[in-house]
Amino acid sequence: MDAAFQLVSNEVNVRPLRLRDWRDLESILMSERKWLEPWEATVPGGSRLLDVKGMVRSLLRQHREGSALACVIEVDSKIVGQVNVANILYGSVSSGSIGYWISEKYAGRSITPTAVALISDYMFNQMRLHRVEIAVRPENEASLRIVEKLGFRFEGLKERYIHINGDWRDHKIFALTRDEARKGLISRLER
């Protein structure tokens, strides 16, 4: 995995997470609790206190091990969110699961769909993965619009799938294969 890749489209830049990014991420995550907390993964029985530096270290470890891509989303060289890929598997499965969040100040500007398209295209074209998956809570209308806009296929509902904001939450599962995205997802946004 190329540790120095940079994915750019218009004003959106997706680049690998760096340890020093933790302060910028913490600033957003703390100041926008009301906006982000309903969608944040939590650990059952774990602390609800944010340990952003610990989270960044964990993501970087997974990135180094090749089981994840840990990235930030930037606009005008300013971090405005994250797009990460978890559960990267190669061989007969050859897939990964995308998760993302964006600052409320930057929501609704097509930044997140662009970041998801960029990372998906990277997964298909550079990493040569076969399948990309996104899990979305049924009530998360903004994320549902993103997968719809990018043409992800609905596959079903996983009940009590991910621990979010203190409880097990249902998620709708959306996916694409490399064959379905031959022309690239970024091109779908440019139409």
CATH number of the domain to which 171 belongs: 3.40.630.30
Q: Is residue 166 part of a domain?
A: yes
Per the structure, the complete domain to which residue 112 belongs is given by 7-189
| Beta bridge mates, 8 | 13
Look at residue 68 and tell me if it is in a domain: yes
Per-residue pLDDT tens for 136-191? 999 999 999 999 999 999 999 999 999 998 899 999 999 999 999 999 999 988 76
Query: How many structural domains comprise the chain?
Result: 1
> Is 143 part of any domain?
yes
The answer as to whether 2 is a domain residue is: no
105: left (phi over 0), alpha (psi -120 to 50) or beta: alpha
Range in 1-5, 49-53, 65-69, 88-92 with the lowest mean pLDDT: 1-5
